[in-house]
Every structure is written in C-alpha cells, then in structure tokens.
Amino acid sequence: MGVVLRLLKQLVAVVAVAFAGGMVVGAVQGNAPLTLLLGLATAALAVFVYARVVRWSERRPPVEVAAKGAAAATGRGVLIGVGMFAAVIVNIAFLGGYRIEGLGSVWGAVGLFGIMAAAAVTEELLFRGVLFRIVEELTGTWVALTLTGVLFGLVHLSNPNASLWGAICIAISAGGMLAAAYAATRTLWLPIGLHFGWNFAAAGIFGTEVSGNGTPQGLLDGVTSGPALLTGGAFGPEGSLYTVVFGVLLTIAFIWLARRRGNLVPLRRSARAGATATLSQ
C-alpha cells in the first residue's frame, strides 16, 4: 500500500504540471518566443516538482535529477536522439520516401523547441522517473521495461492519426530504449535529452510528423511518401521499421552498459512467483 501511495503522489504531482503546462503552451502556440519561454518554464517546473515530491514521499535526495552532470548527460542524449532520427530519415530518403521541398520557418522551429522540451521532460519524469523506477523496484528491470514500454505505446494511441502499428513501434523502440537509457545511467537527464533530440529533429529540423500529431513547420519543409511500413505514414517516422531497428540496437547497447555497470535489477521473488502461478494455470 505504501508503494501505491508513493506512486500516486508522484504521478499526480507531475501530471498536474504537465497538464497545466500543456494548456498554457497550447494557448500561446502562435507566438514562438512565448511558446519557447513557457515550454522551458514547464520543463523546469516539472523537474522541480518531481524533485520535491520524491524527497517528500521517499525521504531521499532525488539523485536521478541532480544538477551535477545534468548538462553533459542531457547533451549526450540530444546528440544520440538527433543522430538516431537523422539515420532513420537518411534511410527513408535513400528509398525516395523523404524529400525536402524548401526551407521552413525559423520561428516555427523556435516554438517547437519549447513544446518538445516540455513534452520530453514531463513524459520522461512520468514514464521513466515514476513508473519505470517504482515498477522496477517491485519487479526487476526486465518486467518494468516491458510493462512501461507497452504502456508508453498504448498512450500514443490517443494521438490524432494514431495506429496500432505506430503504437507498437513506439513501445518497442522508444519505450524500451528510453527505459534502458535510464537503467544504464541511473539519471533521467540522458533519456530526457534523447527524447528531446529525437522529437526536435523530427519536427523542428526535418519537418516530419511526430506521433501522428500532424506535420509541424520546422527549419525544413519535408515531405514523406511511400509505404507506411518504411515511412511511418500519417503517424510519422516513429512508425517506420527503420525506427524499430535503430531503437532496438540502442536498447541492446544500453542494456549491455547497464549489465556491465551492475545496474540491472533482478526479477523480484514476488514477480517470479506471480509469473510461475500464471504459467501453471
């Protein structure tokens, strides 16, 4: 019961900030500088609230969002995220599925920077900081990675132009990869940077759809066409088979690093007993 209450306290606090921030940012979305400012403010407030509620509910310092090393870890994550999306889009373009029709909008990219910062931070605090971390504590790394990855994919089914295939792709690539990134480093800054780098590259740089939310106006006026299996269709490149491949490769790399560092939490006795009981039925 204590764990459930702790989970609820942290979820409610971060969800409240995410919801309020999303409403405010959405209301000023036509104003790029204000969108940037409010998006960054939402991200900062979410980290502050998460840190306070973890300290209050768990009686420990929130080391996973410690300021020391945050900039470097976030920067590494951004580079990985941008590099991963660039690799996906290059492969799609090689088969004629992506082309650049011209330049987009600098101010559009500025606004998207704020939107994606708020989204990356709040989603990582919720899914990796609260859900994955506490479920891992109860069940072990592998069960937590699987459960939160599936949930992360299911949540995206509520997006416009969502598809079951797109949700499956996100569950496998992003859900698993981001949880593994946290397991490898035990800091939320790397997955936050990775999440932001991927989203901003998709929308703010290459001008492609992001999780079925429509085509934003980024730095480039990009157009995708061709088989949805390769391009992701209306869901965007996150629904591409290339994304799954690169996401799985990064997941394997992060899990290897987590194992090497001794960061993997073994399957808990209660979870093992539950699994055995289920199989015997």
3-state secondary structure 59-77: CCCCHHHCCCCHHHHHHHH
Could you tell me the sign of the dihedral formed by the alpha carbons of 237, 202, 70, 21, in that order?
A: negative
Q: What are phi and psi of 5, to 5 degrees?
A: -65, -40
Beta strands of 79-178 (E only): which ranges? 98-103
Within 8 A by CB and 6+ apart from 199, the residues are 81, 116, 119, 120, 210
Asked whether the predicted pLDDT for residue 268 surpasses 80, the reply is no
Residue 155 backbone phi and psi in degrees, to 5: -60, -35
Question: What is the rounded CA–CA span in Å between residue 221 and residue 186?
Answer: 37
pLDDT at 273 over 70: no
Alpha helices in 173-215 (DSSP H): 176-185, 189-200
pLDDT above 60 for 141: yes
pLDDT at residue 92, as a whole number:
94
Q: What is the CA radius of gyration of the chain?
A: 19
Residue 209: what are its φ and ψ, rounded to 5°? Answer: -65, 150
Which of the pair, 161 or 171, is modelled with greater confidence?
171
Identify the residue with better confidence: 3 or 243. Answer: 243
Give the pLDDT score at 217.
Answer: 81
Question: What is the number of other CB atoms lying within 10 angstroms of the CB of residue 107?
Answer: 14
Beta strands in 20-112 (DSSP E): 98-103
Mean pLDDT of 99-126: 94
Cα distance between residue 258 and residue 265, in whole Å: 10
pLDDT at 269: 61
In the predicted model, what is the mean pLDDT of residues 10-29?
Answer: 92
Residue 25's SS3 state is helix
Q: Is 66 exposed, middle or buried (0-12, 13-18, 19+ CB in 10 A)?
A: middle
Confidence of residue 158 (pLDDT cuts 50, 70, 90): confident
pLDDT at 275: 43
d(CA 239, CA 55): 37
Place of tokens 């999440």: 195
